[in-house]
Amino acid sequence: MEDRTFDCAAGREFIARAEELGRLSDSPHHYTRTYLTHAHREAARRIAQWMGEAGMRVRVDAVGSVIGRYEAASPGARTLLMGSHFDSVRNGGKFDGVMGILVPVACVAALSREGRRLPVAIEVAAFADEEGARFQTSFLASRALVGRFDPALLARADADGVTLAQAMREAGLDPEAIRGPQVDLASLAAYVEVHIEQGPVLLGEGRSLGVVTSIAAGTRHWLTVRGVAGHAGTVPMAMRHDALAAACEMVLAIERRCAAGGSRVGTVGMLEVKDGTGNVIPGEVRFSADIRAADDETLAGAEREAFAECDAIAARRGVRLERARTHSVKAAPCAQGLQDGLAASIERVEGAGPARRLPSGAGHDAMILADVTDVGMMFVRCGAGGVSHNPAETVSAEDAERAIRALGDFLVRFAG
């Protein structure tokens, strides 16, 4: 695909802002920004400043999300909501999430410079917690935005024993204020999210932008294996009930079942040996399981098969297996009209053939908004081999410029 040359002033500004936010980290060694830490609160303040400079009225909702509003040409208009998250995974990539904040803010700034108002109001939501890395609270902010916050989460503690409620109070937020939607749901015209692809498809095809057709379903679980601890030198192998050996076999079973074909994927990202010691047979092990698929039925089948095999392993090895689901989201199709509108804008900017349409295997805040309004997503090419959730994650100024231009074109045409 042939690239067209742009003056990339807006793209360069985007990169500079993403780099600035990337320096606001919980760690001096890598990019990690988790919910309500000092770095997180500083990032919120900087985003609020940029929204204000773009001509938006800025507010902070009950869970700390920063929301900028650019009014419509006339009162009573509906609202087009855009956004993404500004928290990160641990040792992550600095474009994940923030792209969906900075790109629409750049588009609003351009409208403001022209003194132009649209027939719809524009709101940009910088969601405070999507990854859930600190409290294991995925999509906390977007769930709160639509009135689906679970108060039970307030008792959840981080690795230092600080509860979510305590962290909120220390950040100047009131946990008791999280009641009902944080936006006027009846006024929403749609939700649109711009996101780094987090994969290699666009890169491999030489395309800078793409249109998301649907977002995969996903669940997360904690599995606890309880065996019998014992002396490493005195318990015969045939008499052991080794929790770690059983857990390792279960991890491979999950991998095998989720590699059976189609859209299934399965990942075990955390494994903990309780009171682990080199000369003691492990008595208790806990591990995570993240399972995803393009549709709800395929996901259910993957879970059923994987966990049935885990149960069989537990029975054969004489250990007890406990499982708790901690997260679940349904597959979210993107609205056809929004897909077509984004595709047309991408085609006008790229000056090539039909825009690439592709599903998203990663979860996004758009999944939560899909329960209350139509959603659309635009992907931006991920450099460095398509690596994401990784410090190597990259976006070029040229691709950022194209994303800003395509979204700006879409906004004007959507509003018209």
Q: Which pLDDT score, from 0 to 100, does residue 2 have?
A: 39
Angle at 249 between CA 248 and CA 250, to 5 degrees: 90
Task: Look up residue 113 and give its amino acid.
Answer: R
Question: Cβ neighbours of residue 238 under 8 Å, at least 6 residues apart?
Answer: none
Strand partners, 324: 222
DSSP-assigned states of every residue in 212-270: EEEE-EEEEEEEEEE---EETTTS-GGG---HHHHHHHHHHHHHHHHTSSTT-EEE---
Q: Which pLDDT score, from 0 to 100, does residue 108 have?
A: 98
Give the DSSP H or E segment for 286: strand 284-293
Low-confidence ranges of the chain (pLDDT < 50): 1-4
| pTM, 2 dp | 0.86
Fold for domain 9-215+331-415? Aminopeptidase (3.40.630)
Of the candidates 311, 247, 241, which has an alpha carbon nearest to the alpha carbon of residue 283? 241
Q: Which pLDDT score, from 0 to 100, does residue 6 have?
A: 63
**Count of C-beta atoms within a 10 Å radius of residue 206:** 11
Of the candidates 369, 362, 352, which has an alpha carbon nearest to the alpha carbon of residue 406? 352
Q: Which pLDDT score, from 0 to 100, does residue 5 have?
A: 55
Q: Which pLDDT score, from 0 to 100, does residue 367 have?
A: 94
| Phi, psi torsion values for 133, nearest 5 degrees | -65, -30
The whole-angstrom separation of Cα 84 and Cα 371 is: 16
Q: Which pLDDT score, from 0 to 100, does residue 381 have?
A: 96
- The segment(s) of the chain belonging to CATH 3.40.630.10 are 9-215+331-415
Strand partners, 377: 193
- The segment(s) of the chain belonging to CATH 3.30.70.360 are 217-329
Q: Which pLDDT score, from 0 to 100, does residue 413 have?
A: 92
**Count of C-beta atoms within a 10 Å radius of residue 48:** 18
The single-letter DSSP state of residue 379 is E
Report whether CATH 3.30.70.360 matches the domain 217-329. Answer: yes
In the three-class reduction of DSSP (H, G, I as helix; E, B as strand; rest coil), residue 333 is classed as: strand
The whole-angstrom separation of Cα 357 and Cα 212 is: 6
The whole-angstrom separation of Cα 27 and Cα 94 is: 13
In the three-class reduction of DSSP (H, G, I as helix; E, B as strand; rest coil), residue 152 is classed as: helix
